[in-house]
């Protein structure tokens, strides 16, 4: 590489490194301040949450479809990468115009402050982490650029000639006859080492502050011990164990009850809200005669009910994984609403989450006799943090986006005309009734199976309607009735099996469709999850050997 080009590359790399180090210092400072205001107010989290709210629905669906439950990790990675590029550009700009480079960090701080204040229920203090981050980033880049420019000036001033290599040591003559003295280092070389050390030190201190701030914040707001201390009362009328006949003994078939660790999670929360049950209270208000404020201890003193229920996400593609079954424990939501006294004309129940999410449910469906709950437990233990601890709502028959508010803190009885919840404002169907769905789980896609008899098995659901039949066909042939496992109730999925006889060598396509208890057959026509849930027959391709 030519000396001039090499010099330009090194110059650009040094300037970019200054910008990156300043950005790390800014983020570290923001994380430290977030120790006082909470993890959701940290600059990157605040900006990421605002980005989720501003993302068009098709792009959100693409992210869920492509990245699944890792969509938040991908989003945060994209934000960090974008920040790194902007920080590098800020460094390049700052070596020419220091004030302009500092202004980039000021804009970042202002953006973070706006994002933090845009969250529902935000307080003025929530913008502090981003403001401090912007100020620290601006100060750091000005300081490092000042050193860097001094280094460049010192190197230029000490260069004896254009042909002489920059940075070589020069012998300084001692007294006459004493010979050369100890070589001295040019000011430029010493200054560059100072800049390198200062840049590396800024990066290291910023990284340490960021990691330390996040750890301290997580520890301060950790509610694991409080969750572990919850003692769940026995249900007023315990449900019997589910019969073993609900689950066919077919290897590879999903368990009938989904373990908590495997239960799907699809939401917009970049950080899981952490609520100490001792500080939690649920407000029931709006079009009611007697507004209520219920503490967690008071909720546990209600007659608790058990509910075996299959919950599914509207983002689920045909044959997708975002569905699971649990035994839930909680207080009767209809009973609490009747105690509050619902006024005539109300037709929507809006749940509000600790993180500001709003979910609207048709009120008549909550009060029509179905077992809607304010759930406090899942499969025999207090709700996991990721699934809504300490309290969430459940209303059978609806996708989660219109029925299942996690980290619930507020219930408002209102009307559809008066308020559009979060997802409705983004174009999703207002009602969110679960569509009939079925999927093939065995054999797995593109599995190799021996010729002869092949076991085919899977799961179907049409919550709050139930499954009456499942049919299977191979290579577009006639539909054949699958054998249904025991029916545990209309609010639960139903598993099925089919013995495929005479499977011949070659590639074959297997399809499945279900009929709900009202007699409606699952439609063949494919529809995307947006705006009211996916439809279509699930299929899989296998190779018979």
Q: Could you say which DSSP state residue 318 is in?
A: T
CA distances from 45 to 9, 212, 257, 267 (A): 34, 16, 34, 15
Contact criterion met (CB below 8 Å) for 271 and 39: yes
Angle between helix axes 43-54 and 3-37 (nearest 10 degrees) is: 90
DSSP per residue over 3-16, as a string? HHHHHHHHHHHHHH
Structure tokens at 436: 């009939």
Q: Tell me the sheet residues that pair with 413.
A: 286, 349
Whether a cis peptide bond, with omega within 30° of 0, leads into 412 is: no
User: What CA–CA distances, in Å, run from 411 to 294, 328, 333, 383, 463?
Assistant: 11, 20, 10, 19, 24
H helices within 159-305, ranges in order? 187-220, 224-228, 296-300
Q: Where are the beta strands (DSSP E) in 391-466?
A: 392-394, 408-414, 437-442, 448-449, 452-461
pLDDT at 44: 95
- Residue 101: how many other CB atoms lie within 10 Å: 27
**HSE-CB for 32 with a 13 A CA cutoff:** 16
Cα separation of 506 and 489, whole Å?
Answer: 39
Q: What is the pLDDT of residue 167?
A: 38
Matching residue, tokens 């909550």: 366
Q: What gap in Å lies between CA 130 and CA 26, rounded to an integer?
A: 9
Determine the pLDDT at residue 174.
41
Residue 197 β-bridge partners: none
Q: What local confidence, expressed as pLDDT, does residue 246 receive?
A: 98
Write the Ramachandran bin of 93: left for phi over 0, alpha for psi from -120 to 50, otherwise beta: alpha
**Could you tell me what percentage of the chain is helix, strand and coil, using 3-state DSSP and rounding each to the nearest 5?**
40, 25, 35
The SS3 assignment for 411 reads strand
Mean pLDDT of successive 10-residue stretches along the chain, which has 545 residues: 73 93 97 96 95 87 83 90 95 95 96 94 94 97 94 67 40 40 43 89 97 95 96 96 97 98 94 96 98 98 98 97 98 98 98 96 97 98 98 98 98 98 96 98 96 97 98 97 98 98 95 98 96 97 96
Sheet of 452-461, strands arranged across: 437-442, 452-461, 494-503, 483-484
In sequence order, the β-bridge partners of residue 542 are 508
Interstrand relation of 281-286 and 408-414 (parallel, antiparallel or unpaired): parallel
Contact 122, 144 (CB under 8 A): no
Residue 436 DSSP one-character state: P
Contacts of 535 (CB under 8 A, 6+ apart): 318, 435, 522, 523, 525, 526, 527
pTM, whole model, 2 decimals? 0.88
Alpha-carbon distance of 217 to 204, in angstroms, equals: 20
- From 269, 250, 212, 272, select the one nearest 454 (Cα to Cα): 250
Element (H, E) at 154: helix 128-158
Nearest to 31 by CA among 216, 221, 205: 216
C-alpha span between 438 and 460 (Å, rounded): 4
Give which of 424, 63, 69, 456 is closest to 253, Cα–Cα.
Answer: 456
Structure tokens at 475: 């290579």
Q: What is the DSSP string of 95-114?
A: HH-HHHHHHHHHHHHHHHHH
- Residues 484, 496: Cα–Cα separation, whole Å: 4
Alpha-carbon 454 to chain mean position:
39
Angle at 119 between CA 132 and CA 357, to 5 degrees: 145
What HEC string does 37-48 produce? HCHHHCHHHHHH
Are β-strands 392-394 and 373-378 bridged in parallel, bridged antiparallel, or unpaired? antiparallel
pLDDT given at position 3: 66
């Amino acid at each position: 590489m030519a000396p001039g080009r090499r010099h330009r590359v090194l110059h650009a790399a040094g300037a970019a490194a200054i910008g990156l180090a300043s950005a790390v210092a800014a983020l570290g400072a923001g994380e430290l301040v977030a120790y006082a205001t909470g993890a959701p107010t940290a600059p990157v989290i605040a900006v990421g949450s605002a980005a989720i709210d501003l993302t068009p629905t098709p792009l959100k669906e693409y992210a869920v479809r492509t990245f699944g439950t890792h969509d938040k990790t991908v989003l945060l990675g994209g934000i960090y990468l974008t920040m790194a590029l902007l920080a590098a550009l800020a460094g390049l700009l700052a070596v020419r115009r220091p004030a302009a480079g500092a202004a980039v960090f000021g804009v970042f701080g202002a953006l973070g402050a706006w994002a933090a204040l845009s969250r529902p229920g935000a307080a003025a203090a929530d913008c502090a982490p981003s403001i401090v981050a912007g100020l620290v980033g601006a100060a750091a880049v000005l300081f490092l650029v000042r050193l860097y420019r001094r280094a460049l000036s010192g190197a230029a001033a000490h260069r004896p000639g254009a042909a002489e290599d920059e940075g070589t040591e020069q012998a300084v003559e001692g007294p006459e006859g004493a010979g050369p003295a100890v070589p001295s280092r040019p000011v430029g070389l010493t200054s560059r080492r100072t800049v390198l050390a200062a840049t590396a030190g800024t990066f290291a201190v910023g990284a340490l502050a960021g990691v330390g701030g996040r750890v301290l914040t997580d520890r301060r707001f950790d509610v694991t011990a409080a969750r572990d201390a919850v003692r769940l009362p026995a249900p007023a009328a315990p449900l019997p164990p589910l019969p073993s006949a609900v689950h066919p003994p077919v290897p590879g078939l999903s368990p009938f009850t989904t373990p908590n660790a495997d239960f799907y999670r699809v939401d917009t929360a970049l950080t899981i809200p952490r609520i100490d049950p001792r500080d939690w209270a649920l407000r029931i208000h709006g079009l009611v005669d007697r507004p209520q404020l219920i503490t967690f201890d008071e909720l546990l003193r209600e007659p608790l009910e058990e509910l075996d229920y299959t919950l599914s996400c509207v983002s689920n593609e045909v044959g997708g994984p975002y569905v699971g079954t649990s035994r839930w424990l909680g207080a009767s939501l209809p009973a609490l609403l009747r105690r509050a006294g619902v006024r005539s004309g109300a037709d929507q129940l809006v749940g509000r989450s600790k993180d500001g999410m709003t979910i609207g449910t048709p009120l008549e469906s909550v009060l029509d006799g179905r077992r809607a709950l304010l759930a406090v437990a899942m499969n025999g233990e207090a709700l996991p943090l990721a699934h809504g601890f300490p309290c969430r709502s459940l209303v059978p028959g609806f996708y989660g986006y219109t029925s299942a508010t996690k980290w619930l803190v507020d219930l408002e009885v209102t009307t559809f005309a008066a308020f559009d919840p979060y997802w409705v404002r983004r174009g999703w169907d207002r009602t969110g009734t679960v569509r009939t769905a079925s999927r093939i789980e065995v054999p797995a896609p593109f599995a190799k199976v021996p010729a002869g008899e092949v076991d085919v098995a899977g799961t179907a659901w049409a919550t709050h309607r139930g499954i009456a039949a499942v049919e299977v066909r191979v290579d577009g042939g006639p539909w054949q009735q699958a054998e249904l496992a025991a029916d545990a109730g209309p609010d639960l999925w139903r598993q099925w099996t089919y013995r495929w006889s005479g499977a011949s060598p070659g590639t074959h396509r297997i399809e499945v469709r279900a009929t709900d208890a009202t007699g409606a057959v699952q439609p063949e026509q494919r529809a995307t999850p947006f705006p009211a849930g996916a439809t279509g027959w699930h299929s899989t391709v296998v190779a018979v050997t």
